[in-house]
Amino acid sequence: MSYRKVNYEEVDQVSSAMHVLSDPLETEQVGVTVARCDPDWKSKPHDHTDNDHEEVYVLIEGEATVVVDDDPVAMEAGDALWIPPESTRQIRNGDTESAFVLVSAPSLRNDDGDGDGDGDGGGSGNGEWLLSGFAG
């Protein structure tokens, strides 16, 4: 089979909000999580320096604030936010439910900004998906 399909609602939640889809989809280069955030839910502030994963947060429902390096970024449905690995990030939900799709992948740049230098097209991350920031 050349594809894998999963319904996020059938995947156990982490920290009462996150449905991590990378394992059931058996992804190798990208992490995908659906976050259904209850009113007033907050994620743990975290970064991805250890695994060098950049992230994109796409808000698909509701309104929320994502704090990036102490800078609150107001988000509404349809907004997408890119966050570099070294930046601290935290989701802070408002008084209504919201839903995000979170996408992460190893950075493809090195300190020179032109890839990781090994010629294989891969990033310098260690390939592990960290769940440390998902504790509500």
Cα separation of 108 and 18, whole Å? 26
Q: What is the pLDDT of residues 77-90, one digit of tens each?
A: 999 999 999 999 99
Query: What pLDDT score was predicted for residue 107?
Result: 75
The pair of structure tokens assigned to 95 is: 């008084």
Contact between 27 and 103 (Cβ < 8 Å): no
| Residue 131 half-sphere exposure toward CB, CA atoms < 13 A | 17
Model confidence at 122: pLDDT above 60:
no
Q: 30-108, what's its fold?
A: Jelly Rolls (2.60.120)
pTM of the model: 0.78
Q: Which residue has the higher pLDDT, 107 or 99?
A: 99
Contact between 97 and 59 (Cβ < 8 Å): no
